[in-house]
Amino acid sequence: MSPRFRPLGREKPPTILLTIGVVAVALVAVHRLASTPSAGRDDMPTNTIAEMGAGRWTAPPAVLPGREGAIELEPVWVIGGADNDGFLSTRADGVAVGNGGEIYVTRSLERRVVRLGPDGRLLWQAGGRGNGPGEFSSISAIGVFEDTVFASDADLGRVSLFSAGGRFLATRRLAAELAMQSIGDGLFISGGSPVALLADGGAIAEPHIVGMPATPRAGMRRAHSRVPLLRIDSLGSVTHTVAWRDVAGAVVGMMRDGRVFQIQAPFEGRSKTAVMPNGQGVIVVRWTQPPEALVVVTRVEADGDTVLHRAFGYEPVPATRRAIERTLREASVFPSGEEAAPAGPEFEDALREDGLVPEVLPPVTGLAVGRDGSVWLRREDHGEDHVVWTVLSSTGQVREAVSLPRRQTVAAATRGFFLVIEEDAFGVPSLVRYDRQPASR
Protein backbone atom coordinates (compact mmCIF):
# COMPACT_ATOMS: atom_id res chain seq x y z
CA MET A 1 0.00 0.00 0.00
CA SER A 2 1.34 3.41 -0.92
CA PRO A 3 2.03 5.66 2.07
CA ARG A 4 -0.11 8.69 2.70
CA PHE A 5 2.07 11.79 2.44
CA ARG A 6 1.19 14.54 4.87
CA PRO A 7 1.92 18.25 4.50
CA LEU A 8 5.26 19.63 5.59
CA GLY A 9 5.27 20.19 9.35
CA ARG A 10 2.53 20.39 11.93
CA GLU A 11 1.41 23.74 13.12
CA LYS A 12 2.13 24.31 16.79
CA PRO A 13 2.26 28.10 17.27
CA PRO A 14 4.82 28.90 19.97
CA THR A 15 4.19 31.20 22.89
CA ILE A 16 5.70 34.56 21.97
CA LEU A 17 6.54 37.34 24.38
CA LEU A 18 7.24 40.60 22.61
CA THR A 19 7.53 44.17 23.67
CA ILE A 20 4.91 46.61 22.39
CA GLY A 21 7.46 48.22 20.11
CA VAL A 22 8.49 44.96 18.46
CA VAL A 23 4.83 43.93 18.05
CA ALA A 24 4.08 47.19 16.30
CA VAL A 25 6.98 46.81 13.88
CA ALA A 26 6.12 43.16 13.23
CA LEU A 27 2.49 44.05 12.45
CA VAL A 28 3.61 46.68 9.96
CA ALA A 29 5.90 44.18 8.25
CA VAL A 30 3.21 41.49 8.14
CA HIS A 31 0.63 43.95 6.76
CA ARG A 32 3.01 45.13 4.05
CA LEU A 33 3.99 41.64 2.95
CA ALA A 34 0.55 40.07 3.26
CA SER A 35 -0.86 42.68 0.91
CA THR A 36 1.60 41.83 -1.84
CA PRO A 37 0.08 39.88 -4.78
CA SER A 38 0.90 36.18 -5.12
CA ALA A 39 3.50 34.99 -7.60
CA GLY A 40 0.80 33.00 -9.36
CA ARG A 41 2.62 29.64 -9.50
CA ASP A 42 0.87 26.74 -7.73
CA ASP A 43 4.05 24.67 -7.44
CA MET A 44 6.16 27.51 -6.05
CA PRO A 45 6.09 29.11 -2.58
CA THR A 46 3.42 31.78 -2.38
CA ASN A 47 4.17 35.36 -1.51
CA THR A 48 1.99 35.96 1.53
CA ILE A 49 3.28 35.75 5.06
CA ALA A 50 0.19 33.78 6.12
CA GLU A 51 1.03 31.02 3.65
CA MET A 52 4.66 30.98 4.74
CA GLY A 53 3.87 30.35 8.39
CA ALA A 54 3.17 33.73 9.91
CA GLY A 55 2.39 32.12 13.27
CA ARG A 56 6.09 31.41 13.81
CA TRP A 57 7.38 34.94 13.41
CA THR A 58 9.13 36.31 16.46
CA ALA A 59 10.54 39.51 14.95
CA PRO A 60 10.48 41.54 11.72
CA PRO A 61 12.55 40.05 8.88
CA ALA A 62 16.28 40.59 9.21
CA VAL A 63 18.30 41.33 6.08
CA LEU A 64 20.83 38.91 4.63
CA PRO A 65 24.12 40.71 4.00
CA GLY A 66 25.46 40.98 0.46
CA ARG A 67 29.02 40.50 -0.72
CA GLU A 68 30.33 43.34 1.40
CA GLY A 69 32.31 42.10 4.36
CA ALA A 70 32.69 38.52 3.11
CA ILE A 71 36.07 37.09 4.06
CA GLU A 72 38.43 34.96 2.00
CA LEU A 73 40.16 32.13 3.83
CA GLU A 74 43.33 30.21 3.09
CA PRO A 75 42.92 26.41 2.82
CA VAL A 76 44.48 24.33 5.59
CA TRP A 77 45.01 21.42 3.21
CA VAL A 78 43.86 20.00 -0.12
CA ILE A 79 43.73 16.30 -1.02
CA GLY A 80 42.60 14.50 -4.15
CA GLY A 81 42.38 16.11 -7.55
CA ALA A 82 43.87 15.02 -10.84
CA ASP A 83 46.98 13.64 -9.12
CA ASN A 84 44.89 11.27 -7.00
CA ASP A 85 41.90 10.43 -9.21
CA GLY A 86 39.28 8.21 -7.59
CA PHE A 87 40.13 9.03 -3.98
CA LEU A 88 36.90 10.91 -3.37
CA SER A 89 33.26 10.72 -4.27
CA THR A 90 32.24 13.32 -6.81
CA ARG A 91 29.12 14.12 -4.77
CA ALA A 92 29.14 16.59 -1.91
CA ASP A 93 27.15 14.18 0.28
CA GLY A 94 30.09 11.78 0.23
CA VAL A 95 31.64 13.67 3.16
CA ALA A 96 30.73 13.54 6.86
CA VAL A 97 32.19 14.69 10.17
CA GLY A 98 31.71 13.25 13.65
CA ASN A 99 30.98 14.93 16.96
CA GLY A 100 34.70 15.13 17.72
CA GLY A 101 35.63 16.53 14.31
CA GLU A 102 36.49 13.18 12.71
CA ILE A 103 36.44 13.32 8.90
CA TYR A 104 34.93 10.54 6.77
CA VAL A 105 34.77 10.42 2.99
CA THR A 106 33.85 7.84 0.36
CA ARG A 107 36.24 6.33 -2.14
CA SER A 108 33.67 5.86 -4.83
CA LEU A 109 35.61 3.74 -7.31
CA GLU A 110 36.70 1.27 -4.64
CA ARG A 111 33.42 1.38 -2.65
CA ARG A 112 35.30 2.23 0.53
CA VAL A 113 34.71 4.41 3.59
CA VAL A 114 37.82 6.34 4.62
CA ARG A 115 38.67 8.20 7.81
CA LEU A 116 41.07 11.13 7.62
CA GLY A 117 43.03 12.78 10.40
CA PRO A 118 42.88 16.51 11.18
CA ASP A 119 45.83 17.02 8.81
CA GLY A 120 44.18 15.08 5.99
CA ARG A 121 46.24 11.90 6.46
CA LEU A 122 44.58 8.54 5.86
CA LEU A 123 43.87 6.80 9.19
CA TRP A 124 41.86 3.80 8.04
CA GLN A 125 39.61 2.54 5.30
CA ALA A 126 36.87 -0.08 5.32
CA GLY A 127 34.41 -1.72 2.97
CA GLY A 128 35.09 -2.70 -0.60
CA ARG A 129 33.23 -3.79 -3.71
CA GLY A 130 30.89 -6.78 -3.20
CA ASN A 131 27.71 -7.91 -1.48
CA GLY A 132 29.17 -9.53 1.64
CA PRO A 133 29.01 -8.08 5.17
CA GLY A 134 30.53 -4.59 5.19
CA GLU A 135 30.86 -4.51 1.40
CA PHE A 136 29.09 -2.22 -1.06
CA SER A 137 27.57 -2.36 -4.51
CA SER A 138 27.29 1.42 -4.22
CA ILE A 139 27.59 4.05 -1.50
CA SER A 140 24.62 6.37 -1.73
CA ALA A 141 25.15 8.25 1.55
CA ILE A 142 27.58 8.41 4.45
CA GLY A 143 27.03 9.82 7.93
CA VAL A 144 27.74 9.57 11.63
CA PHE A 145 25.19 8.65 14.30
CA GLU A 146 26.62 9.31 17.77
CA ASP A 147 29.97 7.46 17.53
CA THR A 148 29.00 5.05 14.76
CA VAL A 149 29.78 5.58 11.08
CA PHE A 150 27.12 4.41 8.62
CA ALA A 151 27.09 4.07 4.84
CA SER A 152 23.97 3.38 2.80
CA ASP A 153 23.94 1.05 -0.19
CA ALA A 154 21.02 1.94 -2.45
CA ASP A 155 21.59 -1.06 -4.72
CA LEU A 156 21.48 -3.64 -1.90
CA GLY A 157 18.91 -1.80 0.24
CA ARG A 158 20.95 -1.87 3.42
CA VAL A 159 23.18 0.07 5.79
CA SER A 160 26.64 -0.95 7.02
CA LEU A 161 27.93 0.25 10.40
CA PHE A 162 31.54 0.85 11.47
CA SER A 163 33.15 2.02 14.69
CA ALA A 164 35.12 5.26 14.85
CA GLY A 165 38.22 3.08 14.81
CA GLY A 166 37.26 1.41 11.54
CA ARG A 167 35.98 -1.91 12.91
CA PHE A 168 33.05 -3.41 11.02
CA LEU A 169 30.05 -3.67 13.34
CA ALA A 170 27.05 -4.86 11.37
CA THR A 171 25.08 -4.74 8.14
CA ARG A 172 21.31 -4.37 8.41
CA ARG A 173 18.60 -4.16 5.83
CA LEU A 174 16.99 -0.74 5.94
CA ALA A 175 15.14 0.77 3.01
CA ALA A 176 11.84 2.52 2.51
CA GLU A 177 8.92 0.34 1.47
CA LEU A 178 7.50 2.68 -1.13
CA ALA A 179 5.49 1.51 -4.14
CA MET A 180 6.42 3.02 -7.48
CA GLN A 181 4.81 6.42 -8.02
CA SER A 182 4.97 8.88 -10.89
CA ILE A 183 6.42 12.33 -10.30
CA GLY A 184 5.75 13.41 -13.86
CA ASP A 185 7.67 13.79 -17.12
CA GLY A 186 8.55 10.10 -17.37
CA LEU A 187 10.11 9.94 -13.89
CA PHE A 188 9.07 7.59 -11.08
CA ILE A 189 10.10 7.07 -7.45
CA SER A 190 10.21 3.85 -5.47
CA GLY A 191 11.91 2.46 -2.37
CA GLY A 192 14.38 4.77 -0.66
CA SER A 193 17.81 4.74 0.97
CA PRO A 194 18.61 6.21 4.41
CA VAL A 195 20.40 9.55 4.37
CA ALA A 196 20.29 9.97 8.18
CA LEU A 197 19.79 7.46 11.01
CA LEU A 198 17.51 8.11 13.98
CA ALA A 199 17.70 7.07 17.63
CA ASP A 200 14.71 4.71 17.39
CA GLY A 201 16.36 2.65 14.65
CA GLY A 202 14.48 4.38 11.85
CA ALA A 203 15.82 6.84 9.32
CA ILE A 204 15.13 9.71 6.98
CA ALA A 205 15.20 8.18 3.50
CA GLU A 206 15.19 9.54 -0.03
CA PRO A 207 13.38 7.51 -2.72
CA HIS A 208 15.13 6.19 -5.81
CA ILE A 209 14.37 7.98 -9.07
CA VAL A 210 13.85 5.72 -12.07
CA GLY A 211 12.81 6.29 -15.66
CA MET A 212 13.93 8.63 -18.37
CA PRO A 213 12.98 12.32 -18.30
CA ALA A 214 10.84 13.32 -21.22
CA THR A 215 12.89 15.18 -23.82
CA PRO A 216 11.06 18.35 -24.77
CA ARG A 217 10.45 18.98 -28.43
CA ALA A 218 11.66 22.20 -29.93
CA GLY A 219 10.15 25.08 -28.05
CA MET A 220 8.63 22.75 -25.43
CA ARG A 221 9.19 23.12 -21.72
CA ARG A 222 9.42 20.36 -19.12
CA ALA A 223 8.13 21.20 -15.66
CA HIS A 224 9.64 20.75 -12.19
CA SER A 225 9.92 17.38 -10.48
CA ARG A 226 10.37 16.80 -6.75
CA VAL A 227 10.72 13.86 -4.39
CA PRO A 228 9.63 13.41 -0.77
CA LEU A 229 12.07 12.92 2.10
CA LEU A 230 10.48 10.09 4.07
CA ARG A 231 10.49 9.17 7.74
CA ILE A 232 10.74 5.37 7.98
CA ASP A 233 10.72 3.07 11.00
CA SER A 234 13.24 0.30 11.73
CA LEU A 235 11.37 -2.07 9.39
CA GLY A 236 11.31 0.36 6.49
CA SER A 237 7.63 1.28 6.77
CA VAL A 238 6.95 4.88 5.75
CA THR A 239 5.32 6.90 8.53
CA HIS A 240 5.15 10.32 6.89
CA THR A 241 6.81 12.83 4.58
CA VAL A 242 9.21 15.18 6.37
CA ALA A 243 9.82 17.57 3.45
CA TRP A 244 10.18 17.75 -0.32
CA ARG A 245 13.28 18.16 -2.47
CA ASP A 246 13.31 19.66 -5.97
CA VAL A 247 15.23 17.32 -8.25
CA ALA A 248 14.76 18.81 -11.71
CA GLY A 249 13.84 22.19 -13.01
CA ALA A 250 12.31 23.31 -16.25
CA VAL A 251 14.07 22.13 -19.42
CA VAL A 252 13.79 23.84 -22.78
CA GLY A 253 14.40 22.03 -26.09
CA MET A 254 15.67 23.50 -29.36
CA MET A 255 15.80 21.95 -32.81
CA ARG A 256 18.97 22.25 -34.91
CA ASP A 257 19.78 20.23 -38.06
CA GLY A 258 17.09 17.70 -37.25
CA ARG A 259 18.33 17.13 -33.70
CA VAL A 260 16.91 18.24 -30.37
CA PHE A 261 19.22 19.93 -27.88
CA GLN A 262 18.08 20.72 -24.37
CA ILE A 263 19.19 22.83 -21.45
CA GLN A 264 17.95 22.99 -17.89
CA ALA A 265 16.77 26.43 -16.85
CA PRO A 266 19.39 27.38 -14.25
CA PHE A 267 17.46 30.27 -12.70
CA GLU A 268 14.11 28.56 -12.21
CA GLY A 269 14.35 27.04 -8.71
CA ARG A 270 12.66 28.64 -5.73
CA SER A 271 13.76 26.26 -2.95
CA LYS A 272 16.65 24.18 -1.59
CA THR A 273 16.45 21.26 0.85
CA ALA A 274 19.13 19.54 2.95
CA VAL A 275 18.97 16.79 5.58
CA MET A 276 20.70 17.64 8.85
CA PRO A 277 23.74 15.36 9.29
CA ASN A 278 22.84 14.45 12.89
CA GLY A 279 19.43 13.18 11.81
CA GLN A 280 17.53 15.84 13.73
CA GLY A 281 15.55 16.97 10.72
CA VAL A 282 15.55 18.80 7.43
CA ILE A 283 16.34 22.39 6.46
CA VAL A 284 14.14 23.92 3.76
CA VAL A 285 15.02 27.28 2.21
CA ARG A 286 12.48 29.07 0.00
CA TRP A 287 12.57 32.49 -1.56
CA THR A 288 10.31 34.93 -3.35
CA GLN A 289 11.04 37.46 -6.06
CA PRO A 290 10.75 41.24 -5.65
CA PRO A 291 8.89 43.24 -4.54
CA GLU A 292 8.79 40.95 -1.49
CA ALA A 293 12.36 39.65 -1.85
CA LEU A 294 12.25 37.22 1.07
CA VAL A 295 14.39 34.19 1.95
CA VAL A 296 12.60 31.90 4.41
CA VAL A 297 14.56 29.28 6.36
CA THR A 298 12.56 26.46 7.97
CA ARG A 299 13.75 23.57 10.09
CA VAL A 300 11.46 20.54 10.26
CA GLU A 301 12.25 17.78 12.74
CA ALA A 302 12.10 14.14 11.73
CA ASP A 303 8.71 13.76 13.44
CA GLY A 304 7.30 16.57 11.29
CA ASP A 305 7.31 19.40 13.84
CA THR A 306 8.46 22.80 12.61
CA VAL A 307 10.91 24.18 15.19
CA LEU A 308 12.45 27.11 13.29
CA HIS A 309 10.90 29.47 10.77
CA ARG A 310 12.91 32.62 10.04
CA ALA A 311 12.48 35.11 7.22
CA PHE A 312 15.17 37.40 5.82
CA GLY A 313 14.97 40.21 3.36
CA TYR A 314 17.59 40.41 0.63
CA GLU A 315 18.80 43.09 -1.75
CA PRO A 316 17.83 41.99 -5.30
CA VAL A 317 20.82 41.65 -7.63
CA PRO A 318 20.14 42.38 -11.32
CA ALA A 319 20.88 39.48 -13.67
CA THR A 320 23.82 40.93 -15.60
CA ARG A 321 24.99 39.82 -19.02
CA ARG A 322 28.12 38.28 -17.48
CA ALA A 323 26.17 36.24 -14.95
CA ILE A 324 23.70 34.94 -17.53
CA GLU A 325 26.34 33.99 -20.10
CA ARG A 326 28.59 32.15 -17.66
CA THR A 327 25.71 30.32 -16.02
CA LEU A 328 24.24 29.19 -19.34
CA ARG A 329 27.64 28.10 -20.60
CA GLU A 330 28.16 25.88 -17.56
CA ALA A 331 24.57 24.58 -17.68
CA SER A 332 24.67 23.37 -21.30
CA VAL A 333 24.07 19.62 -21.47
CA PHE A 334 25.16 18.83 -25.03
CA PRO A 335 28.68 17.41 -25.55
CA SER A 336 31.51 19.84 -26.13
CA GLY A 337 32.64 20.04 -29.72
CA GLU A 338 29.12 19.58 -31.12
CA GLU A 339 29.24 21.82 -34.18
CA ALA A 340 25.46 21.65 -34.60
CA ALA A 341 24.79 22.66 -31.01
CA PRO A 342 23.10 26.04 -30.58
CA ALA A 343 25.23 28.78 -29.13
CA GLY A 344 24.59 30.29 -25.71
CA PRO A 345 22.65 33.33 -27.01
CA GLU A 346 20.20 31.03 -28.83
CA PHE A 347 19.47 29.14 -25.64
CA GLU A 348 19.12 32.41 -23.80
CA ASP A 349 16.54 33.58 -26.34
CA ALA A 350 14.62 30.31 -25.90
CA LEU A 351 14.68 30.66 -22.12
CA ARG A 352 13.54 34.27 -22.33
CA GLU A 353 10.63 33.31 -24.57
CA ASP A 354 9.47 30.94 -21.83
CA GLY A 355 10.02 33.55 -19.11
CA LEU A 356 12.88 31.51 -17.59
CA VAL A 357 15.51 34.28 -17.38
CA PRO A 358 14.68 36.48 -14.38
CA GLU A 359 15.37 40.15 -14.00
CA VAL A 360 17.23 39.44 -10.74
CA LEU A 361 19.50 36.57 -9.73
CA PRO A 362 18.21 33.86 -7.36
CA PRO A 363 19.30 34.86 -3.83
CA VAL A 364 20.22 31.25 -2.93
CA THR A 365 22.00 28.86 -5.30
CA GLY A 366 23.14 26.15 -2.88
CA LEU A 367 22.55 24.82 0.65
CA ALA A 368 24.54 22.85 3.23
CA VAL A 369 23.99 22.09 6.91
CA GLY A 370 26.79 21.70 9.45
CA ARG A 371 27.15 19.17 12.23
CA ASP A 372 26.70 22.08 14.64
CA GLY A 373 23.36 23.00 13.04
CA SER A 374 24.79 25.90 11.05
CA VAL A 375 23.06 26.65 7.75
CA TRP A 376 25.25 27.53 4.77
CA LEU A 377 23.57 29.49 1.97
CA ARG A 378 25.35 29.82 -1.35
CA ARG A 379 24.30 33.25 -2.54
CA GLU A 380 23.86 34.94 -5.89
CA ASP A 381 26.12 33.70 -8.69
CA HIS A 382 27.42 36.90 -10.32
CA GLY A 383 29.33 34.94 -12.95
CA GLU A 384 32.62 35.75 -11.23
CA ASP A 385 35.35 33.47 -9.91
CA HIS A 386 34.12 33.60 -6.30
CA VAL A 387 30.70 33.17 -4.71
CA VAL A 388 29.67 34.24 -1.20
CA TRP A 389 28.29 31.76 1.34
CA THR A 390 26.21 33.29 4.15
CA VAL A 391 26.34 31.25 7.37
CA LEU A 392 23.45 31.15 9.84
CA SER A 393 23.59 29.72 13.35
CA SER A 394 21.33 26.86 14.42
CA THR A 395 18.91 29.49 15.75
CA GLY A 396 18.80 31.43 12.48
CA GLN A 397 21.19 34.26 13.31
CA VAL A 398 23.60 35.55 10.66
CA ARG A 399 27.08 34.57 11.81
CA GLU A 400 29.51 35.11 8.93
CA ALA A 401 29.96 35.43 5.19
CA VAL A 402 32.70 33.53 3.38
CA SER A 403 33.87 34.03 -0.21
CA LEU A 404 34.80 30.73 -1.90
CA PRO A 405 35.89 29.83 -5.46
CA ARG A 406 32.81 29.16 -7.59
CA ARG A 407 33.77 25.51 -8.17
CA GLN A 408 33.79 24.79 -4.43
CA THR A 409 30.71 23.36 -2.68
CA VAL A 410 30.43 23.19 1.09
CA ALA A 411 30.06 19.52 2.03
CA ALA A 412 30.36 19.43 5.85
CA ALA A 413 31.02 21.78 8.75
CA THR A 414 31.67 21.85 12.49
CA ARG A 415 32.18 24.69 14.94
CA GLY A 416 35.90 24.77 14.19
CA PHE A 417 36.25 24.02 10.48
CA PHE A 418 34.42 23.23 7.26
CA LEU A 419 35.10 21.02 4.25
CA VAL A 420 34.38 21.72 0.59
CA ILE A 421 34.44 19.64 -2.56
CA GLU A 422 36.18 21.40 -5.43
CA GLU A 423 35.85 20.11 -8.98
CA ASP A 424 38.29 21.12 -11.67
CA ALA A 425 37.31 21.81 -15.28
CA PHE A 426 37.20 18.05 -15.97
CA GLY A 427 35.03 17.23 -12.95
CA VAL A 428 37.85 15.67 -10.90
CA PRO A 429 37.16 16.35 -7.20
CA SER A 430 39.41 17.52 -4.38
CA LEU A 431 38.63 17.82 -0.68
CA VAL A 432 39.60 21.13 0.90
CA ARG A 433 39.63 22.05 4.58
CA TYR A 434 39.20 25.59 5.92
CA ASP A 435 39.31 26.69 9.55
CA ARG A 436 36.44 28.91 10.68
CA GLN A 437 37.15 32.26 12.24
CA PRO A 438 36.91 32.34 16.09
CA ALA A 439 34.15 34.97 16.01
CA SER A 440 31.90 32.65 13.96
CA ARG A 441 32.16 29.60 16.22
- pLDDT tens, position by position, 29-46: 333 333 333 333 333 333
Mind listing the pLDDT tens digit for each residue in 239-276? 999 999 887 666 777 777 777 777 777 777 789 999 99
The one-character DSSP state at 332 is B
What's the rounded mean pLDDT across residues 129-148? 93
Identify the pLDDT of residue 407: 92
According to the model, what pLDDT value does residue 266 have? 78
Using alpha carbons, select from 390, 394, 439, 433 the residue that is nearest to residue 412: 433
Mean pLDDT value across the chain: 79
Q: Is 23 helix (H, G, I), strand (E, B) or coil?
A: helix
141: Cβ contacts below 8 Å, ≥ 6 apart: 93, 151, 152, 193, 194, 195
The rounded distance, in Å, linking the Cα atoms of 321 and 236 is: 49
Q: pLDDT digit string (tens) for 48-107?
A: 333 444 444 445 578 999 888 899 999 999 988 656 544 555 455 689 999 888 999 998
CB neighbour list of residue 353: distance below 8 Å, 6 or more residues apart: 219
Mean pLDDT of 293-302: 96
- pLDDT for 224 equals 65
Measured CA to CA, the distance from residue 25 to residue 17 in angstroms comes to 14
- C-beta of residue 419 within 8 angstroms of C-beta of residue 431: yes
Q: Give the pLDDT of residue 387.
A: 96
At 7 the pLDDT is: 35
Q: Residues with Cβ < 8 Å from 24, sequence gap 6 or more?
A: none
3-state secondary structure of 89: coil
The answer for residues whose C-beta is within 8 angstroms of residue 2's C-beta and 6 or more apart is 178, 179, 181
Are 351 and 261 in contact by the 8 Å Cβ rule? The answer is no
Instruction: Place 331 in a pLDDT band, splitting at 50, 70 and 90.
Output: low
